Structure 1
Amino acid sequence: MKIGFIGLGVMGRPMAGHLIAAGHDVAINRVKPVSQFLVEQGAKAAESAQAAVTDAEVVILMLPDTPDVENILFGKDGIVDALRPGTLVIDMSSISPVATKEFAEKVKAKGCDYLDAPVSGGEVGAKNAALTIMVGGSEEAFARALPLFEKMGKNINRVGEVGDGQTAKVANQIIVGLTIQAVAEALLFAKKAGADPSKVREALMGGFAASRILEVHGDRMNKRTFDPGFRLRLHRKDLTLALDAARSLDLALPNTASTAQLMSAALAQGDGDKDHSGLIRTLETLSATS
């Protein structure tokens, strides 16, 4: 397929690389030294986002936040006017479910189709083509996109109609965020009580507390390796999406709110660009523990 891929961040770069390796004709823009390897692998470097999508059958967006997606689609020099009728737009960013439905309607008015397909799995999942992909949209559009999803992920599910993929991702981020906080509190407790947190983590991995987050993020906390991964500021953004949606639904999410507040404190102390496992540093600060 001819693909326009917009968004070459920590996860976008390996995702685009898998599509290139699979033989697809991929156009990218805003090529920086860190993404130059994609051109060397066969991607076409376009002068602008519009140029990257002009001849595309499929457009994939992998951007940080709702305003970024809106700007790329509909802002000055936005891509929507460069799309050919029949183009499939796949937004793999993690953004507002409400805004997603609005964006989809505008794109469909141009004679194109739309899927929201946010992902989970972080940089490791992106590099290993092992992402979980949560998709919202029509069955026909999903079937068209599935061969591409299978090059980037392993656990691929159509959740429902447009917007439902983003809803699933928000739910995912609630679970991940609260579990990271739980793991951080447990390991901090172990350390403060005089136990070796690495050995505590190893013991817990054999019991009912075992989880992927305890395995991966617990190890990062113990080893103090906080390079992203997935940035704290982006996870705080996702929990803000959850709380905004909860407010509109008159829904109480008290633990989500408290975790979001801790992440805001992490940003205030300059940790926004660290991996979200770095949340333990904020708890350490609150407990006067280094």
Structure 2
Amino acid sequence: MTTVGLVGTGRMGSAIGHRLLAGGADLTVWNRTPEKTRPLADAGAAVAESIVDLATRDVVFVVVSGPDDLLAVLDRLLAGPERPRVVVDVSTVSEQASATARAVAARAGAGFVACPVSGNPDVVAAGDAVFVASAPEEQFAAVEPLLRTVVKAAVRVGDGEQSRLVKLCHNLYLGIMVQALAEVTALAEKSGADRAAFLEFLGRTVVGSDWVRRRAGALAAGDFTPTFTNTLLRKDLDLGLAAAREHEVPMPVAGLTHQVVQTAVGRGLGDLDLLALYRLQADASGLHT
């Protein structure tokens, strides 16, 4: 059996860990705050005393929030005489940061699969998330069975860092979609239509989507409990627009959306769910939310 390590047991890491356990993985976990490993330990995972202990595992998943954390994890994980065969990094970072991490892993003799995920922790827990991966084919093949115990699909898009930009494109589209949803919902409501009824109608049409149908109840109720915050969305818009400049691709709609999200953060909505873009739109439209 392939032995598996997991670094990072926050909401996303815990969801991935529970899916790995449900798939029968021999899992050992580590987190900087040990108390956060307890739910996975209660579910059957072993808990490492040190991140270095995970270097003996065949495959190690890394679920951290940014490039500095990713590189710090790799420096510690790969510092000893042993190292995992493959590191699977689930973070959303830039192509440049990913290339640096891949080089660090290669110098230590470990494979590296850049593997960001589409789906919040609840979607991951339900088995409905999707991985987009990039790595040499043999490294992806070595971890694909594990990936498929976590998500409904794992798509390889290249040998290098292509998955990072693909995930950023996904989040650019998500931001544009949510802002568009906020605008049309505010217009329908301002005309006298019931918000919940409008969202039900939209979700049942050909322009509806699983995401709209999943989130319609929260938007109708004005529930902006965070699943993916405006601050995190702004970070990904920053990264995506920087990539667009590098590749000389005009992004007029994404650029405007970035400014709307920046306004939301500036008005104190940064720690709320990205659905709170509707609150900004409703306020501008003279609606009471």
TM-score of the pair, normalised by structure 1:
0.91
Give the residue type in structure 2 aligned to 1:92. V
* Aligned match of 2:32: 30
The share of aligned pairs that are identical, in percent, is: 27
Deviation at 1:177, TM superposition (A): 1.2
Out of 231, 234, 245, the position equivalent to 2:232 is 234
Contact 1:29–1:47 (CA under 8 A) maintained in structure 2: no
C-alpha distance in 2 between matches for 1:35 and 1:270: 31
SS at the partner of 1:5?
strand
Structure 2 letter corresponding to 1:131: A
* Conserved? CA contact 2:6–2:17, under 8 Å: yes
5 Å-filtered alignment, 1:76-155, equals 78-82=76-80, 84-85=82-83, 87-155=85-153
Q: Which residue of 1 aligns with 2:174?
A: 176
- Counterparts in 2 of 1:82 and 1:189: CA distance versus 1, 3 Å: farther
Please name the residue that 1:244 is paired with. 242
8 A Cα contact 1:130 1:154, kept in partner? yes
Which residue matches 2:46?
44
Asked if 2 retains the 8 angstrom alpha-carbon contact of 1:2 and 1:24, the reply is yes
Query: What corresponds to 1:56 in structure 2?
Result: 57
Task: Give me the whole-angstrom Cα distance separating, in 2, the residues matched to 1:196 and 1:254.
Answer: 32
Range with bigger deviation, 118-127 or 260-269: 260-269
Q: Determine the structure 1 residue equivalent to 2:282.
A: 284
Structure 1, unmatched stretches of 5+, are none
Secondary structure, in 3 states, of the residue corresponding to 2:79?
A: helix
Question: Secondary structure, in 3 states, of the residue corresponding to 1:114?
Answer: strand
Deviation at 1:216, TM superposition (A): 2.3
SS in 1 for 2:172: helix
Q: In the TM superposition, what is the alpha-carbon distance from 1:85 to its structure 2 partner?
A: 4.6
Specify the alignment match of 1:191 in structure 2.
Answer: 189
Contact 2:196 2:217 in 1 (8 A): yes
In 1, Cα distance between equivalents of 2:266 and 2:51: 33
Structure 2 residue identity aligned to 1:254: P
Instruction: Give 1:180 deviation, angstroms.
Output: 0.9
Instruction: Provide the secondary structure at the position in 2 that maps to 1:90.
Output: strand
Aligned to 2:14: 13
Q: Deviations over 1:121-180 (max 9, x none)?
A: 212221112211000001111111111101110021111112111121111111111111
The 1:84/1:227 distance shift into structure 2, 3 A limit, reads same
1:158 aligns with 2:156: yes
Q: Distance in 1 between matches of 2:243 and 2:73?
A: 23
Aligned residues of 1:131 and 1:153 also touching (Cα < 8 A): yes
Q: Which secondary structure does the structure 2 equivalent of 1:269 belong to? A: helix
Q: 1:201 to 1:160 in 2, by over 3 A?
A: same
Offset at residue 35 of structure 1 (A): 4.2
Name stretches of at least 5 consecutive residues in structure 2 with no aligned partner.
Answer: none
Q: Indicate the larger mover: 132-141 or 98-107.
A: 98-107
Deviations 1:211-257 (A, max 9, x none): 22321233321112222222222222111110111121222111112
Task: Give SS of 2:157's match.
Answer: strand
**2:192 partner letter:** G
What amino acid maps onto 1:133 in structure 2? F
Q: Which amino acid aligns with 1:48?
A: S
Secondary structure at the counterpart of residue 96 of structure 2: helix
Closer/same/farther in 2, CA of residues 2 and 281 from structure 1, 3 Å limit = same
Q: How far apart, CA to CA, are the structure 1 residues paired with 2:284 and 2:78?
A: 47
Q: 1:165 to 1:87 in 2, by over 3 A?
A: same
Displacement of 1:83: 6.8
Check conservation: 2:86, 2:139, Cα contact below 8 A. Answer: yes
Q: Secondary structure at the match of 1:176?
A: helix
Aligned-partner Cα distance in 2 for 1:16–1:31: 16
SS of 1:82 mapped into structure 2: coil
- Are residue 73 (structure 1) and residue 74 (structure 2) matched? yes
Preserved CA contact (<8 Å) 1:19 1:26: no
Tell me the amino acid that sits aligned with residue 3 of structure 1. V
